[in-house]
Chain A
Amino acid sequence: MSTAARAERVPRSRAAPHVRAVRALKPVVFLLSLLPLVLLVRGAFTDSLGANPIEALELRTGHWTLRFLLLTLAITPVRKLTGWSALIGWRRMLGLFTFLYATLHFITYAALDQALDFGLIVEDVAEHPYVTIGFATWLLLIPLAVTSTKGWVRRLGGKRWVALHRLVYVCAIGGSVHYLWAVKQDIRGPLLYMSILALLLGWRLVATRSSRRPAA
């Protein structure tokens, strides 16, 4: 994280071209990240989500959660491989979009799929392992979202903050297993996500070993 703070403090005049590009594109990435949500809301109000709109909302918010989680985890490898260290400036935003779509996924499940029947939800979470894992993963994302601010980095101290945020690896694995377990038979989708996740985590292992320093 210290690199993040440094990258953002480089004065604009001396900033390398890639730094300026990354900064300029940040609002664009923000708007693009909102686009799936806008399309889902539009789909709901124009009845264009297909014959099972609740299922469509559930599936699509789930997919976008995993996509944003993978994008968040891709920041560090891409930074190291390209030298575009300023990309760290996008990471918190992408992480928070992960949390946004995960929360929408949970709200869709609780409010639309289960009609806010709390007895039913508790039973479902307790009895069906793929729901249990999905719910636990969402719960684990909450402290990460809450402590994503600069104030919390200061309060926790860099080391403890980094340790806490390693939970994102648990979330990534939990989210993929949730997806794999939820599909009926065609596991090509979950396997694709899991392969990308394996690449991203594998890169970290190799990078950590070869440099003998943590590549968070």
Chain B
Amino acid sequence: MLLRTSPEHPIRSSEITPEAVYLNRRHFIGAAAGAATLATAAFLAPRILGRGSNGGNQSSAAAGAILPQDRRFKALGPDDPLTPYDKVTTYNNFYEFGTGKEDPSQNAGTLKTDPWSVQVDGEAGKPGRYALEDLLSPHKLEDRVYRLRCVEGWSMVIPWQGFPLRDLLRRVEPTSAARYVEFTTLHDVKQMPGQRFRVLDWPYVEGLRLDEAMHPLTILATGLYGRDLPNQNGAPLRLVVPWKYGFKSIKSIVRIRLTRDEPRTSWNLAAPQEYGFYANVNPQVDHPRWSQATERRLGGGLLAEIRRRPTLPFNGYAREVESLYSGMDLGRYY
């Protein structure tokens, strides 16, 4: 089955913030453009419930706020405002800290992200254990505003800071035998209390085909909204693959291994008929228990969230990535 990008939803090059804009961000803050962005992102989003004049409720007043330093982050478009920081950081799937959506934000304080190191091995010319500082130092962080589509049917728009995974992979020199990249999350029950329960077979493992990993949209992120990643969002280093369901974007990475064979990934092992290795966002391939045709964009408030929006093939990044899958039966390789 060949998937086409619907012409009504072409990806705009503006959806990827150019580096120049990032580097000149101070120029933008305070400028009219900045104000317009802020208005679009924060205030045009309909928040009908609980956004009244009851200023006495502190949590309500803080909820959904976009702080002044966030002005440099732009909405992807009029229909894709940024998901507020507090929603991005209090609604997480990170089973290492509990399976409830709010568990990670409440329990992830036990994670120690400094010092941190990442083991790079497998089919790599320069394997080794890299201290996080050394791993990051050659790379310039970029802003990337991406849609995040969870396999559960909700989505967000998040401004990440990170760098292309391919820049790192090139440094460690994949051998000619390398065909896949496997990522592993920290496994330490003391730091990750959710690992006491075998909800998944710990540690969490994810993987990409090497060409997916080398795609310029694939990044390793270290921050969001211009701040260090909160622990619950995968500090200090996580993967972000915007055209795949969120569970592919593994958090708190301690190991990157180049392999010959397809990695055995956690959700695929847990429920192979429901979660495939590829997990590309695809409105035409339903989860066995629910439809993937539409999604609920979070952050607009209860009334605005009643209307689901159509899910786009490859989460709206089809133009960039569909050539990776030409000739593949995406119903079979879900």
Q: How many residues of B contact A (CB 8 A)?
A: 37
Q: Is B57 in contact with chain A by the CB < 8 A criterion?
A: yes
Given contacts A46-B50, A115-B306, contact A186 B154 (CB under 8 A): no
Cα(A92)–Cα(B301), bound, Å:
37
On whether the beta carbons of A47 and B99 are closer than 8 Å, the reply is no
Cα distance A111–B303 in the bound complex, in angstroms? 11
Q: Are B291 and A44 in contact (CB under 8 A)?
A: no
- Decide: A50 and B91 in contact? CB cutoff 8 A: yes
B101 interface neighbour in A52, A129, A185, Cβ under 8 Å: A52
Residue of B nearest to A182 (CB): B289
Tally of A interface residues using CB under 8 Å: 27
B307 at the interface (CB under 8 A from A): yes
- Asked if A212 is at the interface (CB within 8 A of a chain B CB), the reply is no
Q: How many A-B residue pairs have CB under 8 A?
A: 78
Selected contact of A51 from candidates B87, B200, B271, B308, CB within 8 Å: B87
Q: Answer whether residue A48 sits at the interface, using C-beta atoms and an 8 A cutoff.
A: yes
B299 close to A186 (CB less than 8 A): no
Q: Evaluate whether A128 and B271 lie within 8 angstroms (CB atoms) in the complex, with A47-B50, A112-B306, A188-B197 already known.
A: no
CB contacts under 8 Å to B, within A145-166, are: none
Contact with B along A24-68 (1 / 0, CB 8 A): 000000000000000000001111111111110000000000000
- Return the contact of B289 from the options A49, A52, A128 (Cβ within 8 A): A128
Q: A47-B47, A47-B63, A188-B197 known; A54 and B302 CB under 8 Å?
A: yes
The interface centre, meaning the residue of B59, B200, B298 with most chain A CB atoms within 10 A of its CB, is: B298
CA distance A51 to B92 in the complex (A): 10
Q: Is the CB of A55 within 8 A of B154?
A: yes
Interface centre among B50, B87, B296 (most CB of A within 10 A): B50
**Which residues of chain A have a CB within 8 Å of any CB of chain B?**
44-55, 111-112, 115, 123-124, 127-130, 181-182, 184-186, 188
